[in-house]
Amino acid sequence: MITIKDVARQAGVSVATVSRVYSGRDPVSEHTRIRVWEVGTRLGYTPHGAAQSLITNRTNTIGVLLPDLYGEFFSEVIRGIDQTARRQGYHVLVSGAHQEPAAMAGALRAMRGRVDGMIIMSPDAAADRHLASLPTRFPTVLLNSADAGRHAGTITVANYEGAYAVVTHLVSLGHRRIATLRGSAGNLDAAERLRGYHAALTDAGIPPDPALEAEGDFDEHSGFAAAEWLLAREPLPTALFAANDSMAIGALSACRKAGLRVPDDIAVAGFDDIPIARYMDPPLTSVHVDISALGERAARRLLEAMAHPEQIDRSDEVLPATLVVRASCGASRGRPPESMTVERS
């Protein structure tokens, strides 16, 4: 078996130089780099990742911890992270916490020592204590999470502003009984979207009504069940805002089961604008979030923090959202969707 020492000996350089050539991280002269590559190719050398990481103290891998791995939202986040990381020569190790504190703690322990930095999305407010356990110097970027105050900043979506915009739009269409499908209790995104819903109603002179609120869990099944519960009440709501598109899709199915036509009998809107939203029947009005860009921006922030640990950007960044009006809320079926960007002022 050909080892890194064999390549170093044949190329007439040190083992550290061979490691630098194959890692691509530290500067090596072009002449030396070509000679090492030629010798390595001739000998059939393949670098051993674990051994190389012992020499360079790098794994060339970043960890990603998400609440779940199911659904278009998370796959788009991973796509943005992976594309950005690969361009910089990094691999991505992904795990899901499944909204379980023990699973999150286990994933954090498992990734330590196997990755050079982490991107963590944990909107559950109870996750703060686990995030606080990470070493201060360990590069970490938080997505849609509470800032533990010691990491490479946070990146969040304009949750409040997006919810306020979509509910205000429904009010402008003449709706007064606007129901909502909330996200799970303790979820920071859900709390901000609910706050935006309440504020838009209040500013329109409509008192928020707890009887028009049903809790979901950000998936299609919970959206269907929550919508069924709301649609069994009298009088019926005339519009329904779901805190994410997956629940809105479940709600569309519940409306069909109840014999209600969307948008003629009830308007429906969601949040996130996942790729399938525009292909629903009718196409779903939603708050567009550039989900892939969210992952890309997180990866860039993390790579910058890893490359320059003495200059870590710890600022909190808010990505704007765009209200996309489609047929599910009453927009003309024959007209292109309208859009309006909303961001934090």
Tokens at 200, concatenated: 């838009």
Contact between 230 and 212 under an 8 Å Cβ cutoff? The reply is: yes
Tokens at 162, concatenated: 């997006």
304 and 168 in a common domain: no
Residue 334 is predicted with a pLDDT of: 44
Task: Tell me which residue range forms the domain holding 111.
Answer: 61-157+291-319
Residue 129 is predicted with a pLDDT of: 60
Which is it for strands 178-182 and 213-215: parallel, antiparallel or unpaired? parallel
Residue 25 is predicted with a pLDDT of: 59
203 and 234 in a common domain: yes
285 and 193 in a common domain: yes
Residue 261 is predicted with a pLDDT of: 97
Across the chain, how many H-helices and E-strands are there?
Answer: 12, 13
Of 56, 71, 90, the residue that ends a domain is 56
150 and 10 in a common domain: no
Contact between 81 and 64 under an 8 Å Cβ cutoff? The reply is: yes
DSSP 175: -
Judged by phi (left if over 0) then psi (alpha if -120 to 50, else beta), residue 107 lies in alpha
Low-confidence ranges of the chain (pLDDT < 70): 23-26, 47-58, 98-102, 123-136, 146-152, 331-345
Q: Which of 80, 223, 263, 248 is nearest to 163 (CA)?
A: 248
Q: Which of 156, 149, 153 is nearest to 312 (CA)?
A: 153
pTM: 0.78
**For 156, phi and psi rounded to 5 degrees?**
-130, 170
Rounded CA-CA distance 34/23 in Å is 14
**For 185, phi and psi rounded to 5 degrees?**
-60, 140
105 and 45 in a common domain: no
93 and 27 in a common domain: no
337 and 199 in a common domain: yes
Contact between 224 and 188 under an 8 Å Cβ cutoff? The reply is: no
106 and 76 in a common domain: yes
Of 56, 82, 97, the residue that ends a domain is 56
What total number of domains does the chain contain? Answer: 3
**For 40, phi and psi rounded to 5 degrees?**
-60, -40
Q: Which of 107, 27, 13, 20 is nearest to 57 (CA)?
A: 20
258 and 168 in a common domain: yes
Using only C-alpha atoms, the chain has a radius of gyration, in whole angstroms, of 25
Residue 344 is predicted with a pLDDT of: 65
Rounded CA-CA distance 111/98 in Å is 16
217 and 106 in a common domain: no
CATH classification of the domain holding 133: 3.40.50.2300
Adjacency order of strands within the sheet including 267-269: 213-215, 178-182, 239-242, 267-269
Rounded CA-CA distance 264/255 in Å is 11
**297 residue type, one letter:** R
CATH classification of the domain holding 9: 1.10.260.40
237 and 285 in a common domain: yes
Rounded CA-CA distance 237/266 in Å is 7
3-state secondary structure (DSSP) of residue 328: helix
Of 56, 73, 90, the residue that ends a domain is 56
315 and 239 in a common domain: no
Strands (E), the chain: 61-66, 91-96, 117-121, 140-143, 154-157, 178-182, 213-215, 239-242, 267-269, 286-288, 316-319, 321-325, 338-342
Residue 333 is predicted with a pLDDT of: 45
Tens of pLDDT, residues 134-192: 666 778 888 877 655 556 578 889 999 999 999 999 999 999 999 999 998 888 899 99
Rounded CA-CA distance 131/134 in Å is 6
Q: Work out the widest C-alpha separation in the chain, in whole angstroms.
A: 84
